[in-house]
Chain A
């Protein structure tokens, strides 16, 4: 089992969600986060004074999938989240030791 974490542009939230559903994903978690990558932040001007906004709003997707589903999920996120412009975000994959469904107590892939 793998945890897939993706940081994407906020306006791509629905596109990525739809792509993941189409790819057969049954559950996921999103959070509104802020951060910066190589693009740095951006600046905003108020009453002629420039303010550097270091942390740009992003959306973080988190979902756990079986090993075999990793590549199709990555492909779905990449296709849906890409604009080709700087700041499109990243995807990373983490090993999962245990996964437990709270209601039934099921463990492992059954709990996905």
Chain B
């Protein structure tokens, strides 16, 4: 890897690491004041356990060999990965991908907020990483889904759709928060939410533009797309809710920004021109309504992981079928419908997402059921009522 690219990948990796605390604040602010530390800990736990697993066997299973469905054990403990032949390029890539592996299970924490036992979460994360994230990642990047021609630049299918549908499976086993949906549980600190949003947006430039794994034009276009899609989605969400609910809210702006970032993630290195504005705008509009699904169908996705990450990821991933522009990137991927292609790419996008959805939902559901039958997944009623911060961690956020 050349020096410029290596520098960009390393910087991007650090930026992606920063997204996990960003996510923690984004979720933590939306949580109640008695559960905010539990939320932060669920997120920080992911950057404790995942790097260790990634080094021991995660990377090897996710990228080793040329298997269609799962990697191999060639790189256990990163065996044989040197820094001399390629200027450290492969090791930088492994670090970069490790950050992605860490934030993906963290996304699910927003759905199970306020009621999941930390011991259950502590076991859920490594199991989910190895049984769901790693295989789906391999299918998309170097496995059968990628080979069929589906596109996922920075993890729309492998990360957001994957974690989003897992969040749905998890809350179906976990059950609703006490009192929901009758009792209101509004965010306890909107300033925390906004700080988290800012950190996420900043880190997302590394997430998307870093996924070019090079300092080149594609990285630059991915950077610009990340900039524009988030702005467009935030704008649309705020306008819609201003008209619909009466006020332009901070939470609407934050939610729109994140929805736009999620939606542009799979498309970032394949679209250009006004496409990021359209993809972001559609994501803002669709997700603004999708967050209402939980009240209609009564699944308690506490902080809207399904409505924002699953739906946003799906929207962005499917829109690639319309907007992919290989000529602009001098790329070998298929054209989207608006650039002279047929519906083939759109179909591949649908197949890829459907496959990820089925696997992720089923395996997550099984993991949660097994945990429920063995150590239990829910805190007892007293802890849920008095707060998980003190009940599980012996700490209080505010005195």
Taking Cβ atoms with an 8 Å cutoff, the residues of A that contact B are 44-53
Contacts and interface: CB of A to CB of B under 8 A. Distances in A.
B216 interface: no
Contacts of B372: none
Closest 4 CB pairs of A and B: A51-B184, A51-B186, A45-B245, A47-B291
A48 B292 contact: yes
Contacts of A51: 184-186
A46 B186 contact: yes
A47 B181 CA distance: 14
A38 B184 CA distance: 21
Interface stretch (B97-105, B141-149, B246-254, B379-387): B246-254
A87 to B, nearest CB: 19
A47 B251 contact: yes
Contact of B184 (A47, A48, A52): A52
Among B186, B245, B249, B255, max chain A CB count under 10 A is at: B186
A46 B295 contact: no
B252 A47 contact: yes
Interface SS majority for chain A: strand
A80 to B, nearest CB: 29
Contacts of B292: 48-49
Contacts of B255: 47
A54 to B, nearest CB: 9
A47 B240 CA distance: 11
A44 B247 CA distance: 10
A48 B241 contact: yes
Given A44-B186, A46-B187, A52-B184, 18 more contacts: A45-B241, A45-B245, A45-B246, A45-B247, A46-B249, A46-B251, A47-B241, A47-B255, A48-B241, A48-B244, A48-B245, A48-B291, A48-B292, A49-B292, A49-B295, A50-B184, A51-B184, A51-B185
A67 B46 CA distance: 64
A47 B255 CA distance: 8
Nearest to B240: A48
Contacts of A47: 241, 251-252, 255, 288, 291, 304
Contacts of B251: 46-47
12 contacts: A45-B241, A46-B186, A46-B251, A47-B251, A47-B255, A47-B288, A47-B291, A47-B304, A48-B288, A48-B292, A49-B292, A50-B184
A94 B25 CA distance: 46
Contacts of A44: 186
Nearest to B30: A46
Among A45, A48, A51, A53, max chain B CB count under 10 A is at: A48
Contacts of A53: 184, 186
Interface string B287-317: 0100110010000000010000000000000
Nearest to A49: B295
B295 A45 contact: no
Interface in B236-278: 241, 244-247, 249, 251-252, 255
A32 to B, nearest CB: 13
A20 to B, nearest CB: 29
Interface in B363-397: none
A45 to B, nearest CB: 5
A92 to B, nearest CB: 30
Contacts of B245: 45, 48, 50
Interface in B142-191: 184-187
Nearest to B252: A47
Nearest to B186: A51
Nearest to B190: A46
B240 to A, nearest CB: 9
Contacts of B184: 49-53
A85 B304 CA distance: 37
Contacts of A46: 186-187, 249, 251
Contacts of A50: 184, 245
Among A47, A48, A52, max chain B CB count under 10 A is at: A47
A53 B246 CA distance: 17
Nearest to B247: A45
A47 B237 CA distance: 9
A52 B184 CA distance: 7
A45 B185 contact: no
Contacts of B246: 45
Contacts of B247: 45
B311 to A, nearest CB: 13
Among A44, A49, A50, A52, max chain B CB count under 10 A is at: A49
